């Protein structure tokens, strides 16, 4: 049975009001209706009144259903503080350093860093657990490499002066005796030899 075409204006006769009971004609919707539908496609406007489709993967849809940027970062595996490092000015300063072998890093100001030479010997001190270990590394083991402090050794700080004074005190009597001996030798032996021989 052939369908009878209703004359123009019949929608009104059927009590179908465009925009209320039925969709009013729209060139945009007409353009949408002309799109070729397929799985994982998303319609979009490529101009003011024309539509097209683009790929929309299952993963992309997991981003589109996120409520905010934080949720999107979690979906992407880039949650700040757990998956990626939050921005830090100090770390940015370190990232800008030129590094090489045997260099250490130290702070020159707040969040500002520089490098310094750090030799293998220097590192051998840094890995020491305490002062005793540092002294051993430096060859300054007390009572083995150096003398431990005590009150008696403290009085010998001026040792050269004390030794000279002590030696002089010990030698003084002998020096006096030597002077006296030389004086007698001068009087008894040398002085007569210097006098002219008397003629008899």
pTM: 0.49
Q: What is the pLDDT of residue 165?
A: 67
How high is the pLDDT of residue 180? 75
In order, the DSSP letters of 135-161 are HHHTT--BTTTBPPP-HHHHGGGGHHH
pLDDT of the chain, 200 residues: tens digit per residue: 454 545 555 555 677 777 777 788 888 888 888 898 899 999 988 887 788 999 999 999 999 999 999 999 999 999 998 999 999 999 999 999 999 999 999 999 999 999 999 999 999 999 999 999 999 999 999 989 888 887 766 665 555 666 666 666 666 677 677 777 777 766 666 666 666 555 55
Which pLDDT does position 32 carry in this prediction? 84
The answer to whether the CB of 103 falls within 8 A of the CB of 109 is no
User: What are the residues facing 51 on neighbouring strands?
Assistant: 45
pLDDT at 48: 76
Nearby residues of 51 by Cβ (< 8 Å), 6 or more positions away: 28, 31, 32, 35, 43, 44, 45
Residue 31's pLDDT is 85
Quickly count: other Cβ atoms within 10 Å of residue 77's Cβ: 9
Q: Rounded to an integer, what distance in angstroms lies between the CA atom of residue 90 and that of residue 103?
A: 18
Residue boundaries of the structural domains of the chain: 12-75, 89-137, 151-192
CA distance 75 to 66: 8
């049975």: which residue's tokens?
A: 1
Q: Tell me, what's the pLDDT at 85?
A: 92
């Amino acid at each position: 049975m052939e369908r009878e075409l209703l004359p123009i204006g019949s929608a009104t006769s059927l009590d179908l009001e465009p925009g209320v009971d039925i969709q009013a004609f729209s060139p945009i919707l007409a353009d949408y209706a002309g799109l070729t539908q397929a799985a994982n496609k998303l319609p979009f406007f490529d101009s003011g009144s024309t539509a097209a489709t683009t790929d929309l993967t299952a993963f992309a849809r997991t981003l589109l259903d996120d409520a905010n940027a934080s949720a999107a970062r979690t979906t992407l595996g880039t949650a700040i503080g757990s998956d990626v490092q939050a921005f830090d000015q100090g770390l940015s300063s370190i990232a800008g350093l030129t590094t090489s072998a045997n260099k250490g890093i130290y702070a020159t100001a707040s969040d500002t860093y520089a490098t310094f030479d750090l030799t293998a010997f220097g590192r051998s001190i840094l890995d020491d657990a305490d002062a005793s270990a540092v002294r051993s590394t430096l060859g300054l083991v007390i009572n083995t490499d150096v003398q431990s402090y005590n009150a008696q050794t403290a009085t010998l700080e001026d040792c050269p002066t004390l030794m000279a004074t002590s030696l002089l005190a010990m030698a003084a009597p002998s020096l006096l005796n030597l002077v006296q001996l030389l004086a007698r030798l001068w009087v008894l032996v040398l002085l007569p030899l210097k006098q002219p021989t008397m003629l008899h």
